[in-house]
Chain A
Amino acid sequence: MKRTKFTILKSTCVPLPLANIDTDQIIPARFLSSTSREGFGKNLFRDWRYDKHGNKNEDFVLNRSEYTGSILVTGSNFGCGSSREHAVWAIADHGFRAVVSDSFADIFAGNALNNGLLPVVIPSDTLEKLTTMIILKPETVVTIDLGRQLLSVEAQGISVPFPVNPFRKECLLRGYDNIDYLLGMKDEIIAFEKRYSP
C-alpha cells in the first residue's frame, strides 16, 4: 500500500515540555475500543485536554489558539508505557506529522515510523532552547528536512542534525510500506523456514 511521503516539513510547533509522557496520557485505554484506525484524534490527550465533565481545560496547550502546527515538541522518553499504536494514530489524526524530543520510548518510535509520523531526536540543550523559543514566540517556524536529516529554525540560525535509520528514511521519503517489503521476501522466508529447526 502507498503511504504519504515525508520529505520536508515546515511548520509552527506545539510545545508540551513534560518528561515521560506515557501512551495512556496520549490516548486513555477507555478510548481504544474501536476496530478502525480512524477518529482517535478527538481523544488525543483526552484527560489533560478536557475536565471530567468534558469541558475544555483552557490552559492545556492543545486548547490554546496561539499554539498550532504539525510539529509536537515534547519531553524525554516520550511515548513510554503501553505499546498501543492508537497513540500514534491519535497524534497523526490530530494533524501532527513529526514529534521532537531528546528521547523516545522504543515501541512508540517504531509505531510512529510505521505510520509516517517522524520521531525527531535532538540534543537535550537544543530541545530546551527550542521549547523556550516556541513558548515565547509561538509564530516560530521550524523546518524538518528528512533528506538532509536537519532540524532548523532559520530566523534564529539554529540547525541541528538528527539520526534516522537509513532504511526507515528511504521508506519515509518514498512512501514505501514495510509490509509490502516483507511480502516481497516470501521466498527468502520460506527458505529460512526450511533450514530453521526450533
Chain B
Amino acid sequence: MEPRTLFDKIWDAHMVKSVEGGPDVLYIDRHYIHEVTSPQAFNGLKQRCIGVFRPERTVATADHNIPTADQHLPIRDAVSRAQVEALEENCKAFGIEHFGIGHPNNGIVHVTGPELGYTLPGMTIVCGDSHTSTHGAFGTIAFGIGTSEVEMVLATQCLLQTRPARMRITVNGSLRRGVTSKDLILYIISSLSTGGATGCFVEYAGEAISQMSMESRMTVCNMSIEMGARGGLIAPDEVTFGYLSEIPAFSSNPDAIRLLEKWFSLRSDPGVVFDSELAFDASAVPPMITWGTNPGMGMAVNGTIPTEEGTDTESSSSYRKSLEYMGFKSGMKLLGHPVDYVFLGSCTNGRIEDLRAFAQMVEGRKKAPGVTVLIVPGSQQVARQAEKEGLSEIFRRAGFEMRQPGCSSCLAMNDDKIPPGKYAVSTSNRNFEGRQGPGARTILAGPLTAAAAALTGVITDPRKLLRNSD
C-alpha cells in the first residue's frame, strides 16, 4: 500500500463517496454548534420540513455573545438574548445536547469539546467557527464551516469538501525559557504570512511539538487558520492518551482500550510525500507580538516594525493602512510602548495552562496603574480549576478582573469591548481592525508577554520578569 499522511488516513476513512469531478462527500463524526452561526441553519431545516439526521453527533454551547459578568441575570442586549434563546429552543426542538449559560459544562466551544471528551483522535469535526482547527491537536480533521454547511451537517451528517493539499511543518529542538506555544505559532504565521497556507491542511511534527502539553498543542492548531490553512493536526501520542485518560467520559468508556490501540496507528507513514514541507528551529523563537492588523504581521517582542521595502502596491497600501490604524511607524520599536488593556482568554489561550502561566508570573506582584486586565477562563471547568488552585485569588490580589467564561473580548460581540484608539495586549487570535471593538488596537501575544504588560503597563520582554523558579 502507498504510504499515506495522517490527514489522508482520516479523510479516506470518512469518505462516503467521491463525486465525479467534484468534491468528496465526507462523513462528520462530531458537530459543534453555537448561538451565532446556527440559527439560520435551523431555519433552513424548518423551511425544508426536515429534522436533524443524527442529533447525538451534535453538541451545542453558547459562547460568542454571552456576557462574562452576572451570567445569572438575563442578557441585557435584546438581540444577543434572542440568539442565545434561539439556540436553546432549537436544541430542545431537535433533540441536541445543549450547554447554555451557567451550565457546569458551558464555555467556549473549542475549550469545552476537548475537556469533556467529545473530541477524540481520528474524528472528523466541524463547527461554524474558523477556530475549529483547535481540535486537530488530538489527531483529528477539524475545520471551520459556514452556516449553509452547518445546515448540511444537521440535515445529512455529511459535507461536500474538496481534499486540500498537505503541508508538514516540523519544529526541531526545544522552545526556550519564557517562550510559549503561542509565540511559536505567531512566529510561524509571521514567516508564512496570513494567507501562506491557503488551500492546505497542516500536520505539525517534530521535537518541540512532541514536548508540548495538549493545551499548548491546541494553541498551535487553533491558529492554523490565521495563515489561511484549512486546519492543522498533530499525530496522537502518549501525551494525547494521558490527557484523555484524565477525562471521566473517556476513561469510563468500555471501548477505551480498543480505541487507544487503534489510535496508535494514527500517524503519517514513513516516506510519505507532502505537497509542501517546512522546518523551523524552536530555539530561534523569541516571545512574539504583532504590530499590524493581521496575525501575519508579527515580530519579536524586542524587535522593530519591518519596513515597506519589497512589498507590491496592493500589499503596500494594506501595510500603510495597518500602521496608520495602529498608530505605529515603520521601523519603530514597541518595547516600552504604553498599553491600556490586557486580555487573557479565548479559544487560543483560555485554558488552565494559560491561566497558570499568567498566574506564575504575576503572583505576589501588582497590576500597573492605568491598565485594565481582564481574565476570562475558557470554560466553567477552567474557572472551577482556577479557583481551586488559587489562581483566581492571585489575579484578584493583583488587581485584575476575574470574569465568567465566554469568547469575551476576542471578538467583542458582548460588552467586553476595547475602546477606540486604546491598545490591548491580547492572548486571542486576531488583530484585525475593530476586532476587539470599533477602533480598538490589538497587539497579539502569548500569556507570558500579556502578564508582563499587565504588571508594567507597557510592552515588556517577559524574559525580564521570569523568576528563578519559573
Contacts and interface: CB of A to CB of B under 8 A. Distances in A.
Q: What size tier do the contact residues of chain A reach?
A: 35 or more
A106 B77 contact: no
B441 to A, nearest CB: 13
A25 B433 contact: yes
A81 B430 contact: yes
B37 A85 contact: yes
Interface in A141-198: 165-168, 178-179, 181-183, 185-186, 188-189, 192-193, 196, 198
A33 B27 contact: no
B412 interface: yes
Given A18-B317, A22-B294, A28-B438, A80 B23 contact: no
Contact of B48 (A1, A30, A80): A1
B307 interface: no
A76 B158 CA distance: 30
Contact of B146 (A25, A114, A128): A114
Contacts of A185: 16-17, 25, 156, 158
Contact of B160 (A77, A182, A186): A182
A-B residue pairs, 3 tightest by C-beta = A167-B22, A77-B195, A111-B146
B328 interface: no
Tell me if B's interface is mostly helix, strand, loop or mixed.
Answer: loop
8 contacts: A20-B294, A24-B434, A77-B228, A106-B164, A168-B22, A178-B148, A192-B16, A198-B120
Interface residues of B, number: 79
A182 B79 contact: no
Interface stretch (A34-42, A55-63, A91-99): A34-42
Contacts of A88: 146
A21 B446 CA distance: 24
Contacts of A110: 145-146, 149
Contact of B420 (A52, A75, A198): A52
A103 interface: yes
Scoring B16, B29, B79 by chain A CB atoms within 10 A of each residue's CB, the highest score goes to B16
A81 B434 CA distance: 13
Contacts of B79: 33-34
Interface of B: 13-14, 16-17, 19-23, 25, 27, 29, 36-37, 39-40, 43-44, 47-48, 50, 53, 64-65, 77, 79-80, 82-83, 86, 120, 122-123, 128-130, 143-149, 151-152, 155-158, 160, 162, 164, 194-195, 198-199, 225, 228, 230, 259, 294, 296, 313-315, 317-318, 321, 411-413, 420, 430, 432-435, 438-439
A197 to B, nearest CB: 9
Nearest to B13: A196
A106 B194 CA distance: 13
A19 interface: yes
B349 to A, nearest CB: 18
B21 A198 contact: no
Contact of A20 (B44, B53, B318): B318
A106 B152 CA distance: 18
A22 B439 CA distance: 15
B432 A165 contact: no
Interface string A11-29: 0000001111010110011
A23 B312 CA distance: 22
A189 B156 contact: yes
B75 to A, nearest CB: 10
A35 B20 CA distance: 35
A105 interface: yes
A105 B195 contact: yes
A109 B83 CA distance: 26
Most buried by A among B47, B65, B434: B434
Contact of A30 (B148, B152, B413, B430): B413
Contacts of B315: 19, 76
A183 B194 contact: no
A73 B145 CA distance: 24
A181 B83 CA distance: 29
Contact of A167 (B19, B130, B294, B438): B19
A106 B198 contact: yes
B199 A30 contact: no
A47 B294 contact: no
B391 to A, nearest CB: 29
A38 B230 CA distance: 27
B152 A182 contact: yes
B367 to A, nearest CB: 27
Nearest to B164: A106
Contacts of A35: 39-40, 43, 82-83, 86
- Quick one: which of B65, B164, B294 has the most chain A CB within 10 A? B294
A3 to B, nearest CB: 11
A181 B120 CA distance: 29
A84 interface: yes
B433 A77 contact: no
Nearest to A184: B156
A85 B22 CA distance: 22
Contacts of A114: 146, 148-149
B148 A115 contact: yes
Contacts of B143: 107
Contacts of A134: none
